[in-house]
Structure 1
Amino acid sequence: MTAQFPRPPDKPQDYECCKRGCCPCIFDYYYDALERWEARVRALGGDPAEVLAACRGMTGQA
């Protein structure tokens, strides 16, 4: 099912954030990329939540 959809962006690990209050933060970049990815999946006729769950199941991500 996921082969027809783009791969979701990788979520940064907590340790990758420097915790200095950067603007934008690495997590801001991630959430922006996630929104663009969700829009692309919807445009291709998919449900982002289902595709994300399937991708996480394939990689073992939490």
Structure 2
Amino acid sequence: MLELSIETEIITNAYMIILLRTLNLHEEELIQQLTARIISRQERNGAWKLFNDEESGNLS
């Protein structure tokens, strides 16, 4: 089982999920952790921010 602590931009977490799925790696616990982190970082307006001082989120 993979054990990772990814404290980076949300896009990196999303790419990791895509990679695991593409390679058909069954790392469901890790995918659930990454998913939970992505959801927890989403703003009320639906956006994600790279920096705390961004007003409207980031397109990437």
Structure number with larger C-alpha Rg: 1
Choose between structure 1 and 2: higher helix proportion. 1
Q: Greater relative contact order: 1 or 2 (C-alpha under 8 angstroms, separation 6 or more)?
A: 1
TM tier relative to shorter chain = 0.3 to 0.5
What is the TM-score with the length of structure 1 in the denominator?
Answer: 0.39
